[in-house]
Chains A and B, each alone.
Chain A
Amino acid sequence: MRTISLSETSVREVNRQLHDQTAELAEAQWRITDPEGRHALACGLDQTLEVEIDGHAGYYCAGMNQKARVTINGMAGVGVAENMMSGQVRVKGNASQSAGATAHGGLLVVEGDASARCGISMKGVDIVVGGSVGHLSAFMGQAGRLVVCGDAGEALGDSIYEARLYVRGSVKSLGADCVEKAMRDEHLAELRDLLDAAGIDARAEDFRRYGSARELYNFKVDNADEY
């Protein structure tokens, strides 16, 4: 394992060393110390690296991740794992707004709470939040699964397409075109798999499922007067 301190090495240099692993995977395990809330840590990784960030991270940590497993031993700022393609990002503390925004794949685990707009425009990512999520989570979600072990804020799943949302606690309000749906066996099975993958101890039977009513997909002539 290689350890680099951000009090001695710049973010740009650390990211360059991680990107250099693309050509030759000489060092698979990395520990980054003293992050002190710096932005854009471990962004754009595209190899099977294990990266541990020892402390609190700033904005856009592990953005655009592919294949790598990034663990943040602290909180994450705005846009953690935004546009992730694959791999896994784990936040041991709380996450700020827009966690997993636009992400296409991989697994994002937030062990604490995630703030507003968690999974906004999610396009295939799986997100498991141990605590609660803020307002407008999964806004315009297109694909993927969002699991919330606590509560969800206002307008959950507003204008949602096909993402599937599982919430154990209360939902303050559902957004436009988001409805509660029956929890069938296949949903219980996929939820169990997601909780297992996230390492979170919770009973799938305690969750409710939400998704798109598919009323906003196409123009409806009944709405003509609105224009």
Chain B
Amino acid sequence: MLKRRVIPCLDVKDGRTVKGIGFVDLKDAGDPVELARRYDAEGADELAFLDIAASVEGRGTLLELVRRTAAECFMPLMVGGGVSTVEDVRQLLLAGADKASINTAAVREPELVSRAAAKFGSQCITVAVDAKQVGSARWEVFTHGGRKPTGLDAVDWSRRMAELGAGEILLTSMDRDGSQAGYDLELTRRVVEAVPVPVIASGGAGGLDHMAQVLAETGVSAVLAASIFHFGRHTIGEAKRAIAAAGIPVRLGR
């Protein structure tokens, strides 16, 4: 049976791990490669790097980080932040990433997703959807690290991205991100039901019960979390044991 995944996310900026609340107020959480190594040893199912500065100048630093991590951690690696061309995807894959996550550029140019999927396969292309609730059962897509509204409905947009070739949707609730109030269950459920591809839930994990809850109640394929792991509050192993105890299939050990 396919197991649900637990994915620690490292938000990186200038070669360091950072974690903010509601996409601002950044706090240094350490050397990304060191953290990656720890998560690998703890049995993480996958690692995510998100370059939150996503500056052109920082590109080399990010690629170097991916290379260093991939040389030591023999596990799937997703990298996002500032991916805006097929060449960016290629560079990440060559550096050792398995999946490139596309966010702002997909809104600007949806065909980028289909071109990248045709070139490298859908399994390499994750579309990151940052969604903010704007009404009863309505969520809007935001870009530029959550600063810019797009007018797009998050559920429709996720469906469209899957149709264009995204192999996975990384769904972040901006309302919950950094709040530690739990994942947005309603948003997650709606997107899972709308798309044929796997969905990763992100934003809001404050305790291990939140992870078990979103997995149990929405059918989401994976949970992503950052601060709950970075500051030593919980290990990956603890998270997985809590999820398993809730009766959800998860890979224990390594």
A associates with B = no
Report which A residues bind B (CB closer than 8 A): none
Report which B residues bind A (CB closer than 8 A): none
